[in-house]
Amino acid sequence: MRKNIGFVSTRFAGTDGVSLESSKWADIFQQSGHRCFWFAGALDRKPDYSLHVPEAHFQTEQNQWINKRVFGIKGRKQPVTQTIHDLRTHLKFKLHEFIKQFDIDLLIAENALTIPLHVSLGLALTETIAETQLPTIAHHHDFYWERVRFSINAVSDYIRMAFPPNLSNIRHVVINSAAQEQLAHRTGIASTIIPNVLDFENPPKVSRKRTEVFRQSIGLEPDDRMILQPTRIVQRKGIEFAIELVKELKDVRNKLVISHEAGDEGLEYAEWLKEYACEHGVDLRLVSIRVADPWTGNGNSGGKYSLWDVYPYADFITYPSLYEGFGNAFLETIYFKKPMLINRYDNFVRDIEPLGFDLAVMDGFLSKKTVQSVIAIIESSKRRKKMVNVNYTIAAQHYSYSVLRNQLSAIMQSFFGDDVEQLSAKTRPAKSKGYLYINSNQVMYKHFNSKSCTPVK
């Protein structure tokens, strides 16, 4: 029997890890005929299948007012408590409305019960799950104890209740082994590891025309090398190492392109990166419009372009993150068969590196040996071809859609028994995977000239 599945989070929009992975999960469910619906404060999903509740977004003025008064301090004032609960009551009403409107059979909480960016939503969702007894998957991407900014707080009572809740009708899913261990140690909650995945069974279809338009639109010449940093501009991404790498490569053809926006964690780091690139003589291109999620099929308006239009014509990928729960950009790079530099962040060392990927690596700093390794990769087509093919084969074995199908099928059957069939790809709908035609007048970017250190566009 087909089920109606309701995804809940603060945001399903753009290319953050939560939005991307939820789209992939929905893709898997829809291939087997299930219907997916969306509840969030920011949405780029189809309106007919969504309930947009602006108050559920973590960046609303009201929620930011709450967060300023509960994080970084130990005491909570009564008016703050009242505001939290007033908002909780409103969001719980909306959640019940969502469940009733779309006749939801299974809830999937995407990070909304994991990291307390929106305390009221977490409380509302926990109470709704307890009241309805709906089967629920809590998909955890990064826990509050992994972030320093939540270590001192005035809502420890709410965090113990809802981040995450320990309810019998919830199955908990984490994305790495460290999270599984810490969740069990801190809360006694058992969980299943489901890593991030990509559809390695179906290699990407690359449109030369679309990707050429993107390169031209950000001012790259035919002989330029596009060194791509395919992440948001946040400090934990370690983008300063990408700047240092381009400097050490000592080739004016190398242009550093950052494909995502800043904003989730402030703009100060982005401003510092611009100055840092100028000081190091690095030609930096910051793409300033939102990149579309390739799985939603909703990225065809407002001048947006898809991730799938950015990767194919990159010559080299930098991924020097200091911390990642898993690392979507890592999989995307391998999916498009691109060479890359990666920093050995903790979860990479524990879960990914032992599988034997062939990569240029750094260990918290950029050594001369690492730079020489990158140069050897860039200069040798034979070396690149060998490494990317090896990496694709390994990833297809461990991070393909089939892995996700098997894990989700087991969870579904634990809830519904023989009432659901094994998830499969046999009824997969024809999709464009988010391919877009890019109008060169719509792609907005800032080019920081390495000589003048001023924007030239």
Q: Do the domain assignments include residue 424?
A: no
Distance CA 64, CA 74 (A): 17
Residues 116 and 265 grouped into a single domain: no
Residues 67 and 189 grouped into a single domain: yes
Length of the chain: 457
The amino acid sitting at 141 is H
The amino acid sitting at 282 is V
Q: What is the dihedral sign for C-alpha 396, 401, 403, 406? A: negative
Among residues 193, 227, 250, the one where a domain terminates is 193
**DSSP-derived pairing of the beta strands 106-110 and 136-140:** parallel
Residues 186 and 227 grouped into a single domain: no
pLDDT digits (tens, 9 = 90+) for 247-260: 999 999 999 998 87
CATH number of the domain where residue 230 is located: 3.40.50.2000
Average pLDDT in the chain: 88
Residues 342 and 386 grouped into a single domain: yes
pLDDT digits (tens, 9 = 90+) for 348-375: 999 999 999 999 999 999 999 999 999 9
For 360, the 3-state DSSP assignment is: strand
Q: What is the dihedral sign for C-alpha 222, 225, 231, 234? A: negative
Among residues 167, 193, 219, the one where a domain terminates is 193
Q: Mean pLDDT across the stretch 115-144?
A: 97
The structure tokens listed for 440 are 């060169």
Residues 279 and 330 grouped into a single domain: yes
Distance CA 264, CA 117 (A): 11
DSSP string computed for 261-310: --BTTBSHHHHHHHHHHHHTT--EEEE-SPEEPTTTS--SSTT-EEGGGT
Q: Do the domain assignments include residue 252?
A: yes
Q: Do the domain assignments include residue 261?
A: yes
- Whether residue 164 is preceded by a cis peptide bond, meaning omega within 30 degrees of 0, is yes
Q: Mean pLDDT across the stretch 238-253?
A: 96
pTM score of the predicted model: 0.85
Half-sphere exposure (CA, 13 Å, Cβ side) for 279?
8
Q: Which residue has the tokens 């634990």?
A: 414
Q: Do the domain assignments include residue 423?
A: no
Q: Mean pLDDT across the stretch 33-59?
A: 96
Question: Which pLDDT value is given to residue 303?
Answer: 44
For the chain, first and last CA: distance in Å? Answer: 55
Q: What is the dihedral sign for C-alpha 272, 273, 275, 276? A: positive
The structure tokens listed for 383 are 């070396």
Among residues 166, 193, 220, the one where a domain terminates is 193
pLDDT digits (tens, 9 = 90+) for 155-186: 999 999 999 999 999 999 999 999 999 999 99
Question: Which pLDDT value is given to residue 81?
Answer: 98
Q: Domain total for the chain?
A: 2
> Is-contact 163 115, C-beta < 8 A?
yes
Does an H or E element contain 140, and which? strand 136-140
Q: Do the domain assignments include residue 403?
A: no
Residues 28 and 127 grouped into a single domain: yes
Residues 80 and 160 grouped into a single domain: yes
Distance CA 68, CA 89 (A): 21
Q: Do the domain assignments include residue 97?
A: yes
Residues 279 and 376 grouped into a single domain: yes
pLDDT score of 441 more than 50: no
Residues 277 and 135 grouped into a single domain: no
Expressed as residue numbers, the domain containing 361 is 208-398+436-448
Distance CA 254, CA 332 (A): 21
Question: Which pLDDT value is given to residue 313?
Answer: 82
